[in-house]
Structure 1
Amino acid sequence: RLVSHHGLDPGRVHVAAPGADIAPLAPGTDGVSRLVCVAAVTPRKGQHRLVEALAAVSDLPWSCVCVGGLGHDPEYVEQLRALVARHGLEDRLVLAGPRAGAELDATYATADLMVLTSYAETYGMAVTEALARGIPVLATDVGGLPEAVGRAPDGGVPGILVPPEDPAALAAELRGWFGEADVRRRLKSAARGRRAALNGWASTAQSLAGVLHRLPGEPGGKA
């Protein structure tokens, strides 16, 4: 896509995919009801679409924590809080702010399903971070998210992709997640298979080093 979009010479374009170091398998909660969204709270990440979808399935026993910075677009954050209140979801959907390190690990450990409603993503590292813990993904079909979701070695897909402008489609897939045990088993199995096949950051660094090593030297012997 980069080659065609920018008119680049394919022979001079190299890819070092972001890594995802395998983490302990997430035990989750009850295997179905804990949803986690990891993304800065901005219009581009589309959390308002997530709220709309969750409001449409408020009869289901979900809880959701949204992890991500709240300072990028304070006006959007306030609009989002108002939307959550309008639908009466304050006790079920939490804007937790940024988390890192052990605190973020603990959040992922409680997750049964990762949800991401972005309008654009260059790759989607939060997706691979979830898959590195064996957590299935429900995300929008944009940018690099299909690549990040990927496939398990046996061909299984560890996630579900929906259009970014369709909260109804997201809600329908959430109903399927809650209502169809076979769907959950299939997604969880594929997520664990994808986890085992992920390349870590050491592989990314090795790929990048290989590209740099092949660069032609400048006059005087300097690379």
Structure 2
Amino acid sequence: MSRPLHAVLPAGIDDPAAPSGGNRYDRQVLNHLAASPDFSSVREITVTGDWPRPDAAARDRMSRVLAELPDDATVLLDGLVSCGVPEVLAPHAGRLRLVVLVHLPLSDETGLSPAAATELRALERRALHLAAGVIATSTQAAAHVAAMHDLAEVHVAAPGVDRATPAVPSPGGHRLLCVASLTPRKGQDLLLAALSQLTDLAWECTFAGTGTIPPVPAGLEHRVAFPGALAGAELEAAYANADLFVLPSRAETYGMVVTEALAHGLPVVATEVGGVPEALGGGVDVVPGKLLPPEDPQALAAALRGWLTDGELRERWRARALARRETLTGWDQTAHRLAAILKNIEEGTA
């Protein structure tokens, strides 16, 4: 018998000017769940606030939202709006079935002071111990969250991806693309530092995403572009007009843009952090690109130099990317996995 599902989300989930991996994940799985027979209805409730550190008014809004839900309801909460407010969750944890979807542990965000990270970690620990279930978006992230917060189990529902038309490569592979919010965690500064070592080669690089543009090294001004957030046809065009995808993140739970690039047949150079190896896939000997240590612009520059100067390497990586493209899973499978997790939690078998 199908049952209702209540989803509590941050406001702005569908704002095209501020896209994020977490918002895209939420939108895709909720759309698929709403169309599935697993739930009689899927009710989305968005809560405005400066999450994960909301003011008193936002906390009151969140409290009212939970208070209005019926007893024994299953409530899927985005971690951004729930992990920082355990005192709001606590009065309702006994009568509601709270399930928290953790896209990124709060204390893993870059730029936090040690005191702020410690505070957020403690808040998140309290919140997750109030939940009937916790879900992460990669096996690595699940293990990390479980160890960090001493949880017996964290479930995994990895992101899906929409299959796309493969990009047509240029002869020299000179078109580089990075799609990510312009934040220190995504490491665009590291990519710029690497590119500054490659001025003797032909290349151009597009940095798609919102945020603060990092300082551009002298001499690169006309070789890099920061078009802001791209979505829909504009984002598809960016992938279609690229040869290599680069993601130099300092931290990732999964790296949805990696599978989006692979869905377009693009090889990927990325840092070996979080769930990125899981997203990239391919196995040790057939990686569709290259994994690098984080915080190493020299290694990144060497990898990009190899790509730009070695035609055989480019062909090999492209073939592997196209092979990986055939194994990517869709959002329908993600939603099916999430529905199964929620059912098991409801039945007490999770």
Class of the TM-score when normalised by the shorter of the 2 chains: 0.7 to 0.9
For normalisation by structure 1, the TM-score amounts to: 0.86
Q: Which structure 2 segments of 5+ residues have no match?
A: 1-142
Rounded Cα–Cα distance in structure 1 between residues aligned with 2:347 and 2:246: 45
| TM-score (normalised: structure 2) | 0.56
1:44 positional shift: 1.2
1: distance between equivalents of 2:151 and 2:316?
40
Aligned residue for 1:221? none
Percent of counterpart pairs with the same letter? 52
Matched, 1:102 2:233: yes
Task: Select between 181-190 and 169-178 the one with higher mean Cα deviation.
Answer: 181-190
How far is the alpha carbon of 1:88 from its aligned partner?
A: 1.2
The reply on whether 1:8 has 2:138 as its aligned counterpart is no
Give, as a single letter, the amino acid of the residue that structure 1 aligns with 2:151: L
Pairing partner for 1:175 from 305, 312, 332: 305
**Equivalent position to 2:286, from 145, 151, 156:** 156
Q: Which has the higher contact order (CA 8 A, sep 6+)?
A: 1
Helix, strand or coil: the match of 1:215? helix
Deviates more, 1:176-185 or 1:15-24: 176-185
Residues 1:33 and 2:174 aligned together: yes
Aligned residue number for residue 186 of structure 1: 316
1:88 lines up with 2:237 in the alignment = no
3-state SS of 2:234 partner: helix
2:198 to 57, 64, 67: 57
2:293 and 2:341 mapped to 1: Cα distance? 35
Judging changes above 3 Å, is the alpha-carbon distance between structure 1 residues 172 and 155 closer, same or farther for their aligned structure 2 residues?
closer
Greater Rg, structure 1 or structure 2? 2
State the number of aligned residues.
205
Unaligned runs of 5+ in 1: 219-223
Query: Deviation of residue 31 (structure 1)?
Result: 5.2
Aligned CA-pair RMSD: 1.7
Q: Which of these residues, 178, 182, 189, is aligned with residue 48 of structure 1?
A: 189
Decide which of 246, 258, 268 is 1:137's aligned counterpart.
268
Q: Deviations over 1:71-110 (max 9, x none)?
A: xxx4xx2xx2xx32x4211111011100000000000001
Q: Distance in 2 between matches of 1:96 and 1:164?
A: 25
Greater shift, 154-163 or 184-193, is seen at: 154-163
- Separation in 2 of the partners of 1:63 and 1:8? 45
Q: Which has the higher strand share?
A: 2
How much has 1:112 moved relative to structure 2? 0.3
